[in-house]
């Protein structure tokens, strides 16, 4: 989708507000341009030395016209505020909805937190778009109505107006592509600088080392230099437009003044008409300036839309089947069967999973082990439907799990990935995600089994204790327990766990493993884990080597 198409879509999404703004702009433009006619009549009365009721009425009408234009501006201001609020809300929910639902391979070459920074372009869009619609539409109408009104005084102004519009189009056409291209490059390096600053902040302890610190500054200098280079290129386009604008203003001013003066000297216009024409000319020149300044804003808005499109254009996971044809995990008898599974990462020439066949029955306790790079994590993520296999099929109760509603499937499983961490919120929010079906009794039971009760009791705010992003200020063992609590409180039928007790001491880990693998637990457990105790407690041990099953015990 091109930047212009994105801009058109933005207009379409808020077309009702845009229509209202344009209607008010037309009314304001018509009234504003009727004011010079009133002034013309007032000047004629003054020249004739007449002070009459008509003169007073005209003065009153002109003042009322000015006031009414002000009222219309206030109404436009209210609409633009509504427009800005809607853009912000829509964009925030767009991002919040999309990130959990974007296909893995679409994010493979990106850093999701860095991509999320694109949301800040919403601020440019919401401010710039409403200003563009308000000011550019008003300016364009002022130019059009101004030329039409000038043509009333003499037909020659029609010819001049056509030349004026043609020159405006040429200037826009010549500069637009270059201006947009340089703006996009400038924005690209703006985000590179912002992301590097994030990296410095994330690794701030490492960068305390003087040599590494110097590297951070050198890389920042390199990125900033690139940014300034593209910024300068964009400024040169804007400077060229401003020079063209200055020449254009000189041409318009000289041309209209000369034409008006000749018409007055030839007695084809009177002084009142000449004064009114000059007011219209000033209005047209002011409107032309707004158009050119608006062009810079248009670059900013279209560039921001393109940056938001970096996220919006990423392909989402979808249920391709119609709703009535989807399967749901209604019964407790769940059997997973992987048939001839292969998986290859987007930038890899070789498969990391090679022809795996595997069957998992209800209440199985399965341990997946192997050396680093053997494919353990990839297999776990394929089974939990985070990845889709490149070749082969995963069956759920003898039906391809692609036929199962993906939302229903995920609501019936619990997953912990090695990269998972708490989000910013209270401990209770991190554990329950405000799920109203989870009772206090269930929370207390899980906290007790996961050895979290003493920690919660030691905190002054208990479960209402705030947690920082990533679990900062809470030890890594407690973080793992909190993630486990969140996982099991959803009452999953399938549990997919990756190194769930790796950071716990041996005694605590043993107790939690006992609880997770106990026969009375209703879930089927598939775990990637280290340590001999997992081997003792799991019913089957699958050892991977080079993406293939080496042994099953």
**What is the SS3 assignment for 381?**
helix
pLDDT for 447 = 92
Is 330:379 a contact under the CB 8 Å cutoff?
A: no
pLDDT for 35 = 61
Reported as a single tens digit per residue, the pLDDT across 312-342 is 888 888 777 777 778 888 776 788 999 999 9
The whole-angstrom separation of Cα 167 and Cα 160 is 11
Ranges in the chain annotated CATH 3.40.50.300: 323-552
The whole-angstrom separation of Cα 94 and Cα 99 is 9
**Percent over 90 (pLDDT), the chain:** 23
pLDDT for 387 = 87
Confidence of residue 57 (pLDDT cuts 50, 70, 90): low
H helix or E strand, kind and range, residue 542: strand 540-545
Going by the DSSP 8-state scheme, the letter that residue 529 receives in this structure is: -
**Percent over 70 (pLDDT), the chain:** 90
Ranges in the chain annotated CATH 1.20.1560.10: 83-312
pLDDT for 516 = 93
Is 366:374 a contact under the CB 8 Å cutoff?
A: no
Query: Residue 472: CA atoms inside 13 Å, Cβ hemisphere, count?
Result: 4
Mean pLDDT for 404-418 is 89
Residue 486 gets the label, from left (phi > 0), alpha (psi -120 to 50) or beta, of alpha
The whole-angstrom separation of Cα 349 and Cα 522 is 40
Is 158:151 a contact under the CB 8 Å cutoff?
A: yes
Task: Say yes or no to pLDDT of 383 above 80.
Answer: yes
In the block, residue with structure tokens 């409180």? 489
Superfamily, domain 83-312: ABC transporter type 1, transmembrane domain (1.20.1560.10)
Reported as a single tens digit per residue, the pLDDT across 70-119 is 777 788 788 888 888 999 999 999 999 999 888 888 888 888 888 888 88
Token pair of 427, please? 């401990």
pLDDT for 79 = 85
Q: Quote the pTM value.
A: 0.79
Top-level class of domain 323-552: alpha beta
Which value, to the nearest 10 degrees, does the dihedral of the CA atoms of residues 459, 463, 466, 472 take? 70
């Amino acid at each position: 989708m091109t930047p212009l198409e994105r801009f058109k879509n933005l207009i379409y999404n808020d077309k009702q507000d845009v229509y209202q703004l344009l209607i008010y702009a037309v009314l304001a433009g018509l009234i504003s341009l009727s004011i010079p006619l009133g002034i013309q009549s007032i000047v004629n009365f003054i020249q004739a030395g007449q002070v009459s009721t008509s003169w007073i009425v005209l003065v009153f009408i002109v003042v009322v016209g000015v006031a009414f234009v002000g009222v219309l501006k206030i109404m436009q201001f209210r609409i633009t505020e509504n427009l800005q609020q809607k853009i912000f809300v829509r964009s925030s929910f767009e991002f919040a909805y999309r990130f959990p639902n974007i296909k893995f391979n679409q994010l493979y070459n990106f850093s999701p937190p860095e991509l999320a920074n694109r949301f800040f372009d919403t601020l440019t869009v919401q401010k710039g778009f409403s200003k563009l619609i308000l000011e550019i539409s008003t300016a364009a109408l002022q130019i059009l109505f101004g030329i039409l009104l000038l043509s009333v005084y003499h037909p020659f102004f029609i010819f001049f107006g056509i030349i004026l519009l043609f020159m405006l189009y040429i200037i826009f056409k010549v500069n637009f592509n270059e201006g947009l291209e340089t703006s996009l490059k400038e924005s690209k390096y703006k985000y590179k600088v912002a992301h590097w600053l994030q990296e410095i902040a994330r690794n701030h302890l490492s960068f305390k080392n003087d040599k590494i610190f110097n590297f951070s500054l050198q890389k920042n200098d390199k990125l900033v230099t690139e940014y300034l280079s593209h910024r300068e290129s964009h400024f040169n386009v804007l400077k060229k437009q401003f020079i063209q604008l200055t020449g254009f203003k000189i041409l318009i001013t000289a041309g209209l003044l000369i034409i008006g003066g000749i018409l007055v000297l030839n007695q084809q216009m009177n002084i009142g008409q000449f004064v009114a024409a000059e007011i219209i000319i000033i209005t047209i020149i002011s409107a032309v300036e707004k158009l050119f300044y608006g062009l810079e804003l248009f670059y900013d808005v279209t560039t921001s839309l393109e940056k938001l499109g970096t996220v919006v254009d990423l392909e989402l996971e979808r249920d391709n089947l119609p709703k009535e044809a989807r399967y749901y995990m209604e019964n407790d008898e769940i059997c997973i069967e992987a048939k001839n599974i292969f998986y290859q990462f987007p930038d890899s020439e070789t498969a990391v999973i090679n022809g795996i066949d595997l069957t998992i029955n209800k209440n199985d306790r399965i341990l997946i082990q192997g050396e680093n790079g053997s494919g353990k994590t990839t297999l776990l993520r394929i089974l939990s439907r985070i990845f889709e296999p490149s070749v082969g099929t995963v069956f759920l109760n003898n039906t391809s799990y692609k036929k199962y509603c993906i939302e229903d499937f995920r609501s019936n499983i619990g997953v912990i990935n090695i990269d998972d961490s708490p989000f910013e919120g209270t401990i209770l929010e991190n554990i329950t995600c405000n799920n109203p079906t989870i009772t206090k009794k269930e929370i207390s039971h899980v906290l007790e089994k996961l050895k979290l009760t003493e920690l919660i009791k030691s905190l002054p705010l208990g479960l209402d204790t705030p947690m920082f992003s990533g679990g900062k200020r809470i030890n890594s063992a407690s973080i793992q327990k909190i993630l486990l609590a969140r996982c099991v409180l959803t009452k999953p039928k399938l549990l997919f766990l990756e190194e769930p007790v790796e950071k716990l001491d041996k005694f605590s880990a043993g107790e939690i493993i006992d609880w997770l693998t106990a026969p009375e637990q209703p879930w089927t457990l598939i775990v990637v884990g280290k340590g001999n105790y997992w081997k003792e407690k799991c019913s089957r041990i699958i050892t991977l080597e080079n993406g293939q099953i080496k042994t099953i015990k």
